Structure 1
Amino acid sequence: MFAISQSVADDLMQKKHVHSIVNPNGIKPELIRTDKRSSDGKFRIVQVSRLDHPKKGQHILLEACGMLKQRGYDNFTVDFIGGGPSLEYLKSVTEKSQLCGRVNFLGMKDQQYIYDHLCEYDLFVQPSIYEGFGLTVAEAMAAKVPVLVSSGQGPEEVIEYGQCGYVFKNGDVEDCARKIEMYLNGEEDKSFVDKAFGRVWNLYNVKITVKTYLDNYSKRQ
């Protein structure tokens, strides 16, 4: 049996006593643009996933950005790409956090749109409460976009536990705000982007993940 991340493999062992081989989902990084385009000067944050806040944690990102606005940060925007049952709830959190005009719900977009536009952002945030892997995190890394993810889930493994991006405590709005503030102030480790880019090509490239599947299947025959 294969697991898409170590966290999923650990879960299978703990709950089902099943041993599995870790082989992550793969992407085609060569299709993802990395060239930055001219911007309007605002710090652009993006989150890509189904709008399902009990699992994906989009409300945590919104509340964290609300905190930052209260602290005087006003030169940022947040785009959510994806659809789902939490849209109206997240719009209410946006209003409550006084972020109207700064937050955009762009709806569902196809893969080509995402691959073409990810590189235009300054920070990708994945605030998931539950997440087995986090394919969009790998896609952001391939686009050379800095990433911030929640702890204890698949995305933390994708960024090599803080070696290729930053991690905030799962569900902790204040810690999420603190980490975003670090990016807003330009205090992040600039070397993470290149490390993340190399990690995607070496580990999450679909050519490599497919080979791993085939090699393991051939050993069992």
Structure 2
Amino acid sequence: MSSNTKQSGNSDEVELIIGNSNSNFSGVTSTMLQVLSEQQKLINLRVMGKHHLSDESLNISFWDVVKMCRKPLSDGRFRIFHARRVDEMIQALLLKYVFGAKIKMIFSSAAQRKRAGFTKWLTNRMDAVLAMCKASASYLHKAPDAIIYHGIKTDMYTPPENKEAAWQSLKLLPATAQQGKYGIAILGRVRKQKGVHLFVESCIKVLEKHPDYTAVVVGAFRSGDEELVESLKVKIEEAGLSHRIIFAGEQNFADIPNIFRSLSLVVALSDNEGFGLTILEAMSSGSAVLASEAGAWPEVVEEGEQGYVVPTKNLPAVVEKMDLLLSDPEKLVQMGISGRKRVLEHYTVEREANELIAFYRTLM
């Protein structure tokens, strides 16, 4: 454990409690778990809820938190309770005002939508509010106490020595597919809100001009999205591109970094996002990016340097930029190099963990 883990008090005392109330693996869960891996090197913490924890010894129950937090830390400081969801704010308020827990409550918000009145009421009762980017800050009803951008594990998402070789060695496509020299992809839930139809329809329009590329849709779809997927497959077949635009389905989570590093271009076209780690993961993996104006993406991507950002739900804009990007494979390589550099400078999970803990210290 780092030498700056404890600045005062008993080194065995828990200083940070993290909410983990949702059993579904969501983007909030993913970002929490990534930064948790670094935070636990810097501060003694516990997680209230065992969902998706690789180390269940970090789990602590609500009632154990009640018992532990009846008194402050031995040096008089209060513990931090970090909530990322509405029900976690409710848990924090119950701990503090019903059971008398000596805690400071933080709510961090990545969502880009106007809040309901009850959510505003809860937020007003937090000791501090964080935003994850300028866009999410703009949707809060009052200015956040700080903006702390998400980071990613850059030792997990790494670029290959050679993109073409990495793509050729990737065992993702069916035998009927044409591997091509380079791969481009959209990753995530296969649904309209994620802009999958924009990706497929753009590929139909531009891939005939760019025979070296194969396009892949990576992700699962639910029963309600079957009609969309089938309609897109029909369009692909009618265009004679069934061997070059592939639905690869859901992949093992452990395989995703290897998929990212093999891609020359990663496309993300959501109508809206909370933050959107996909683009950071792609950039860290040395891939050029094409993103919609959702989440933090307009703040992350420097236009023409790591890729391009286009308006949401705008097929002509996607087609134009995709065509431009695929026209210059060497430029894609340089964009990938620039993306990796930008992530290392601004968007590492280590930086996020350190900024969060520095903020906690100001409240404790």
Shorter-chain-normalised TM-score: which range?
Answer: 0.7 to 0.9
Which whole-Å CA distance do the structure 1 matches of 2:146 and 2:243 have between them? 46
SS in 1 for 2:246: strand
1:165 maps to 2:312: no
Unaligned 5+ segments in structure 1 are none
Q: TM-score, normalised by structure 1?
A: 0.86
Larger relative contact order, structure 1 or 2 (CA cutoff 8 Å, min sep 6): 1
Go from structure 1 to structure 2 and tell me whether the alpha carbon gap of 1:73 and 1:199 turns closer, same or farther (over 3 Å shift). Answer: closer
- Opposite residue 94 of structure 1, the aligned amino acid is K
Offset from partner CA, 1:40-97 (integer Å, 9 cap, x none) = 543311111112212x11111111112224x644443211221133354133123224
Identical-residue share of aligned pairs (%): 25
Bigger shift: 211-220 or 146-155? 146-155
Offset from partner CA, 1:129-179 (integer Å, 9 cap, x none) = 111211111111111011111125422222145543212222111111111
Structure 1 equivalent of residue 173 of structure 2: none
Which whole-Å CA distance do the structure 1 matches of 2:230 and 2:243 have between them? 11
How big is the shift at 1:33? 3.4
Go from structure 1 to structure 2 and tell me whether the alpha carbon gap of 1:169 and 1:214 turns closer, same or farther (over 3 Å shift). Answer: same
CA contact (8 A) 1:3 1:22 kept: yes
SS in 1 for 2:267: strand
Structure 2 equivalent of residue 60 of structure 1: 198
Which whole-Å CA distance do the structure 2 matches of 1:220 and 1:109 have between them? 41
CA contact (8 A) 2:264 2:332 kept: no
CA contact (8 A) 2:180 2:211 kept: no
1:177 maps to 2:314: no
Which whole-Å CA distance do the structure 2 matches of 1:155 and 1:82 have between them? 20
CA contact (8 A) 2:130 2:145 kept: yes
1:91 maps to 2:219: no
1:2 maps to 2:151: no
SS in 1 for 2:203: helix
1:210 maps to 2:353: yes
Which structure has the larger Rg? Answer: 2
Which whole-Å CA distance do the structure 2 matches of 1:88 and 1:42 have between them? 31
Structure 1 equivalent of residue 148 of structure 2: 23
SS in 1 for 2:139: helix
Which whole-Å CA distance do the structure 1 matches of 2:338 and 2:289 have between them? 12
- Opposite residue 318 of structure 2, the aligned amino acid is C
Which whole-Å CA distance do the structure 2 matches of 1:197 and 1:17 have between them? 34
Offset from partner CA, 1:94-140 (integer Å, 9 cap, x none) = 32243422222222223320112212111100111111211111111
Go from structure 1 to structure 2 and tell me whether the alpha carbon gap of 1:94 and 1:173 turns closer, same or farther (over 3 Å shift). Answer: farther
Unaligned 5+ segments in structure 2 are 1-128, 169-178
SS in 1 for 2:306: coil
Structure 1 equivalent of residue 268 of structure 2: 126
Bigger shift: 185-194 or 167-176? 185-194
Bigger shift: 117-126 or 164-173? 164-173
SS in 1 for 2:216: strand
Structure 2 equivalent of residue 148 of structure 1: 290
CA contact (8 A) 1:148 1:165 kept: yes
Which whole-Å CA distance do the structure 2 matches of 1:103 and 1:136 have between them? 20
Number of residue equivalences: 216
Q: TM-score, normalised by structure 2?
A: 0.54
CA contact (8 A) 2:180 2:214 kept: no
Which whole-Å CA distance do the structure 2 matches of 1:34 and 1:109 have between them? 19
Which whole-Å CA distance do the structure 1 matches of 2:255 and 2:159 have between them? 13
CA contact (8 A) 1:156 1:167 kept: yes
Structure 2 equivalent of residue 51 of structure 1: 190
